[in-house]
Amino acid sequence: MSQIQRYRDNLQDEIDGAALYTAMSGYETDEVRKDLYLQLAQAENEHADVWRKKLMAAGISDLPLGASFKTRLLIRLACYFGPAFVLPVVAANEYTDRNKYAGQADAVEMSAEEQGHAAVIRAAAGHGGPVVGADIAGAERWHRGGSGNELRAAVLGVNDGLVSNFCLVMGVAGAGAASATVLLTGLAGLVAGALSMALGEWLSVTNARELARTQIDKEAEELEQTPEAEKKELALIYQAKGIEREQAWQIATKVMENRDTALETLAREELGIDPEELGGNPWSAAGVSLLLFALGAIFPVLPFLWLENSNAIILSIVLSLLGLGAVGMVTSLFNGRSFAFSAARQILFGGVAAAITFGIGHLFGASIT
């Protein structure tokens, strides 16, 4: 890679980071996180200035000005669903890129700062302890909303519906069934799959809530019977997060003064449970799961509503492959790959699976006939 191209790539990365953190700060309602995002945006802008000056010194005038499409998509998602929705993706990307300057001799200082950014944003997303500081109780709110990855779950839900129903429809179509039969089968697969996913999600969240409640009740019993042991345990947890022993004991002692605060803190720190959410609402989780599966599963079925025979099959394949490509593009937000690679991979795997089921359907249909 040429020096100029390296400067360009670095500048684009920093422009993307600054734009994303600036937007997240604007949409954030938590003052602690808002300030954090603003500081990160400022740091990214300072890094961008370094590479911008190097390009200008080299006589390059056509500099990158705006954020990339991927970053604009993340900003749009943060706008619609809130910064917490994209925070796990941002944290994963920061962690992946934490050593991007490690081999660049003119970016030693920036390399250390980028590694620090990765650690801070992962802490904000719940991958580590709260950001190091004296007020641990104030940092407790940083855990809320960052422990899951709603975007990843949504993409997987759509993908499950699309791939499973695509294969089902192609299998029945390959057997030579009439278009009306293929349509009925596809709709049945959509309904059955969506209900199955919803029930599975409901059971999963309900069981998780019940387990969390049981663990919290047990923790409350231990807090009542052996408060000193619980205080010692909490102090050790804080020490494990890098807080000095004396300060850790002071914080633990302060937290233990109020039983409700102590129980909530122990649940979060020791059990990793948010007492306010207990893993989420099973009914909303089931509803979202049902809708996402149905959204993906409808793609292969639609053409059979107004077309027949080979025309319906061809359009079903086209729509399904387009849907797979869109899913692949979204997955690139959290796998670090390019849009083109992720879309092509998704289309290839989904297409091969559908081709196999079409072939099996054709063989079985011919033998039955």
Closest by Cα among 315, 289, 293, 291 to 170: 315
- Record the tokens describing residue 199, joined without a space: 């029930």
Q: Cα–Cα distance between 121 and 137 in angstroms, integer?
A: 18
Based on its alpha-carbon atoms, the radius of gyration of the chain, rounded to whole angstroms, reads 26
Using CA atoms, how far residue 282 sits from 187, 205, 213, 289, in Å, is 25, 5, 14, 10
| Residue 93, pLDDT above cutoff 70 | yes
Give the pLDDT score at 23.
94
What percent of the chain shows pLDDT beyond 70?
A: 88
Neighbours of 226 (CB within 10 A): 12
Closest CA to 240 of 155, 311, 136, 357: 136
Give the range with max mean pLDDT: 213-227, 291-305, 336-350: 291-305
Summarised one tens digit per residue, pLDDT across range 174-213 is: 998 999 999 999 999 999 999 999 998 899 888 878 887 8
What domains appear along the chain, each with residue ranges and CATH number? 3-128 (1.20.1260), 150-187+286-368 (no CATH)
What's the pLDDT band for 368 if we cut at 50, 70, 90? low
Q: What are the DSSP calls for 304-352, one per residue?
A: GGT--HHHHHHHHHHHHHHHHHHHHHHHHHHH---HHHHHHHHHHHHHH
**224 pLDDT higher than 90:** no
Please name which of 133, 69, 120 lies closest in space to residue 94, comparing C-alpha atoms. Answer: 120
Q: What does the pLDDT read at residue 221?
A: 80
pLDDT (tens digit per residue) in 249-307 = 888 888 888 888 878 877 777 666 777 666 678 888 889 889 999 999 999 999 999 99
- Give pTM, 2 decimals: 0.63
pLDDT at position 129 is: 41
Encode pLDDT of 99-145 as tens digits.
Answer: 888 788 888 778 777 877 777 777 677 654 433 333 333 333 333 33
Please tell me the predicted confidence (pLDDT) of residue 145. Answer: 38
Average pLDDT over residues 55-76: 88
- Which H or E run includes 98? none
Using the predicted structure, report yes or no on whether residue 24 has a pLDDT greater than 60: yes
